[in-house]
Amino acid sequence: MFDNDHTDAEYARRELAYEMGEQSAEERAFERFCEPATSLLVDVGATTPEQGIDGDQETDGFSLDFAYDWFRDRGTPNDYVADVLFQRGKLGFRDGDAA
């Protein structure tokens, strides 16, 4: 047996889980980050429930990638939304202007 047998088994397990549609712990944690962030952005009128935070960073001031950066850096949903509102202000949006 080779030393990488355990690594290969773990890779195969993760690949099967992915193919079966299972989410990783990180994906579930990111969804838990996005839920309150989306609600806050909807509450201030920056987005709609249908669009959520899946916008275009350069035109809307928010995006999933930008949210993930905040999540990865251990930011809070509140801090993320505050930064989104700041970015949207730089783009000329006023509070309540949906993307």
Q: What pLDDT was estimated at residue 15? A: 73
Nearest one of 41, 73, 71 to 54, comparing CA atoms: 41
Q: What pLDDT was estimated at residue 1? A: 45
pLDDT, tens digit, 9 for 90 and up, residues 16-72: 766 777 778 888 899 999 999 999 999 998 999 999 999 999 999 999 999 999 999
CB 71 within 8 A of CB 29: yes
